[in-house]
Structure 1
Amino acid sequence: MFGDPPPFKDRRDAGLQLASALMYLKKDRPVILALPRGGVPVAYEVAHELMAPLDVLLVRKIGAPGYAELGIGAVVDGERPQTVLNEDLVSQLGVSSVYIAEETERQLLEIERRRKLYCGDRPPLQVHGRTVIVVDDGIATGGTMAVALKALMQEGPAKLIFAVPVAPRETLDKLCVGVDDGVCLTVPDNFRAVGQFYENFDQTSDEEVISLLERQYVGLPANNSRAQATRHAQER
């Protein structure tokens, strides 16, 4: 016996549906930040429909000494990259400040490499005083989104919102603490993985990320904040 079809055909379809739910924010002239790579095709449709600037928000985990898969914190890029630590875990493991500084620098270099790959010489979008919408293609545990939101809170946005097509209820409840709003189209009871809610959940390539970011950048009006940010950076 076959169940109901997935609610999203692909990331583009999910993005269009998400854009409809976020249209009430268009008047705020928001900034759209995508968690790459899978969040970019979703965020592109949101940015396109809301006529908003689009950027990536790169997050790199800081692994524990000798256990790289155990995250003790993360580095989040932006106009002023930030390090967000799990202070309880750092204290419990006795991780030195020297190790954290070295790992932070290593992850910052990787963030710079990836930002150069995806965005060329375009500077990160400024978020201070802006309505910021952070988009991904779905959330499971919410670890990356939580770190991203925590870092962005320190940048002083006027409003901070996360938006995803699908996520489990317990994850959403945790993420909603401290933000102005959270938008999720599907909150299933039987969540196992994000991909189960898409007909097509093929991996997003670097080439697609680069293309979508460039298309939205070029397609914006000349007086948009993205163009203004670029001119500001060139004048400095």
Structure 2
Amino acid sequence: MRFHDRRDAGEQLATRFLEWNADNELFNTIVLALPRGGVPVGAAVARVLHVPLDILVARKIGVPGQPEVGIGAIVDEDPPLYDKRALEMLGLSEDRLGAEVARERAELHRREDLYRHGLPPLQVEGRTVIVVDDGLATGATARAALRHLRGRGPGRLILAAPVCGPSTAALMREEADDFVCLHQPEHFRAVGEAYENFDQVSDEEVLSILHGQDARS
């Protein structure tokens, strides 16, 4: 299975949710997209389901000198959530990652300020919350997002992604009330391999989508 782009992936995810909604299971639902890549996917889901869209900014914590290798994640002012096994394998301690955490926390706040323009996040208490990303590799940011949201009292917490690895899927099922992943390749290597078009999503594109001015609509 390959998706044309993130919008196509979101529309296919929404089709899965429409099947659920036959029993009105998505009453009082909101979609929270993880910027940046999850926003075009989440916007398509929210548009098809006719539910509100918001964002939840989570940032990956990378290995010093290798930021692309994720070993943890942060959301809001929550303490970092680390992959303890990865830390042990790499011979790292949480104390040594202070600079990386501070850098990612600063970028997290920059994005929140830019995307929100001072508006508060949507209330999640008692609601069905669908957390959407464009794909899950280690699942670190999604896991941190789910744990953060769990503390805000959602009625039902669902994680949705177009593609993920089988081992990551097993971990995510322990964190969410429901988990939807359309494509779980046996030999998963990278999220981008599931897309024909996987260009980087810019701040400008995120703002356009959030303001209802997506040029592809």
What does residue 4 of structure 2 align with? Answer: 9
Q: Alignment partner of 1:82: what SS?
A: coil
Gaps of 5+ in 1: 1-5, 217-236
Q: Distance in 1 between matches of 2:2 and 2:93?
A: 46
What does residue 59 of structure 1 align with? Answer: 58
Q: Distance in 2 between matches of 1:196 and 1:143?
A: 19
Root-mean-square deviation (CA, aligned residues, Å) is 2.8
Alignment of 1:108-127 (within 5 A): 108-127=105-124
Q: 1:6-41: CA deviations, max 9, x gaps?
A: 521111111111011112256422111111111110
Moved more, 181-190 or 26-35: 26-35
Q: Alignment partner of 1:160: what SS?
A: strand
TM-score (norm 2): 0.80
Q: Distance in 2 between matches of 1:72 and 1:171?
A: 14
Gaps of 5+ in 2: none
Report how far residue 111 of structure 1 moved.
2.4
Alignment of 1:164-203 (within 5 A): 164-203=161-200
- Equivalent in 12, 16, 19 of residue 14 of structure 2: 19
Identity of aligned residues (%): 50
Q: Please tell me whether residue 146 in structure 1 is matched to residue 150 in structure 2.
A: no
Alignment of 1:29-178 (within 5 A): 29-61=28-60, 69=67, 73-77=72-76, 81-86=77-82, 95=94, 107-178=104-175
Q: Distance in 2 between matches of 1:105 and 1:127?
A: 27
Q: 1:191-212: CA deviations, max 9, x gaps?
A: 2211111111111111111011
Report how far residue 82 of structure 1 moved.
2.1
TM-score (norm 1): 0.74
Contact map agreement 1:84 1:151 (CA 8 A) in 2: no
